[in-house]
Every structure is written in structure tokens, then in C-alpha cells.
């Protein structure tokens, strides 16, 4: 009982002591507003190019923050977009680079492609400044990556 009481007191101290919490538990977080701007930039560029696609924006852990699917996009593209965004966020790398490394003879061959949720198809692009990620899917993989990179530049 004494151990429980001491543990609870220590826990409450940590929660109530702002200076300690700020130094020990701070982490950059992707705002919904910024994620929404990235989504809108991707959709705008896709419309200019007469493309249909889906776009997923994840946080640094690969959790979905914002998503959009254009009319006419194939259903499978939704999961591909999320997979690309997830992969580039948790791997801190473009999915194009991972795709190349996962080829036979590559350093990630047989490993990374067997991990749940990992998508090694070009188009996922991490935003390194704040640990966040954007992934785009729906058309040729090279255009996916181009549009993702352009959206990032448009919102810097």
C-alpha cells in the first residue's frame, strides 16, 4: 500500500510540475491546420494535372492526421496512400529509396517488405524539419513523389 501511495505521489508531482514535464515530454506535433494545407496543395496540383488521387498526411509515428480522396479514385488507392505516408514517416525516408533498397540484392531485401503496413512504392515523402510525413498516391509513382515534394515546398 505504501508503494502504491508513493508511486501515486511521484506521478502527481510529475504531472503538476510544469518545468519537469516540458523538459521531459516535449515532442513536435503536426497540426491539423498544416496537414490540411498540405492536402489542399496536393489536390490543387492534381487538378491542374488532370489527375485523380488520394493523399494521406501522418504524424511522425505514422498515424493519420489528414486525408482526402478525389472523386473517381480507385478504392485500393486509399490504403496505398496511407501505406506510403506511414512508411516514409516511420522509416524517415522516401518510399522510392526504400523501394530501391528492397530489390533483390539490396540491403533491405526480404526484410522491410515483410513488415506490416510498410509500402515500398514511390510516392511517400517525409518532411524532415518537424518529423512529419506526407504520402500521395493515385497515379504514376513518379508523379506522386513530384506532387508530394511540391506540396511541401508550397507550404514551407
Could you tell me the residue ranges of all domains in the chain?
28-154
Task: Give dist(CA 104, CA 96) in Å, integer.
Answer: 15
pTM of the model: 0.76
What digits encode the pLDDT tens for the residues 69-128?
999 999 999 999 999 999 988 888 888 998 898 888 888 887 777 788 888 888 888 877
Res 27: pLDDT: 56
**H helices present in 17-75, as ranges:** 18-24, 32-48
Cell of 19: 518545468
* CATH code assigned to 28-154: 3.30.450.150
Amino acid at each position: 500500500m505504501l508503494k502504491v501511495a508513493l508511486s501515486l505521489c511521484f506521478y502527481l508531482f510529475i504531472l503538476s510540475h510544469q518545468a519537469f514535464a516540458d523538459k521531459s515530454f516535449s515532442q513536435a506535433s503536426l497540426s491539423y491546420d498544416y496537414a490540411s494545407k498540405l492536402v489542399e496543395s496536393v489536390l490543387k496540383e492534381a487538378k491542374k494535372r488532370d489527375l485523380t488521387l488520394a493523399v494521406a498526411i501522418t504524424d511522425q509515428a505514422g498515424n493519420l492526421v489528414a486525408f482526402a480522396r478525389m472523386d473517381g479514385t480507385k478504392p485500393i488507392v486509399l490504403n496505398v496512400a496511407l501505406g506510403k505516408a506511414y512508411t516514409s514517416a516511420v522509416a524517415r525516408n522516401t518510399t522510392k529509396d526504400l523501394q530501391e533498397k528492397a530489390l533483390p540484392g539490396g540491403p533491405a531485401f526480404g526484410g522491410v517488405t515483410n513488415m506490416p503496413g510498410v509500402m515500398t512504392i514511390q510516392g511517400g515523402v517525409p518532411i524532415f524539419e518537424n518529423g512529419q510525413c506526407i504520402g500521395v498516391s493515385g497515379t504514376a509513382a513518379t508523379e506522386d513523389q513530384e506532387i508530394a515534394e511540391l506540396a511541401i515546398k508550397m507550404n514551407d
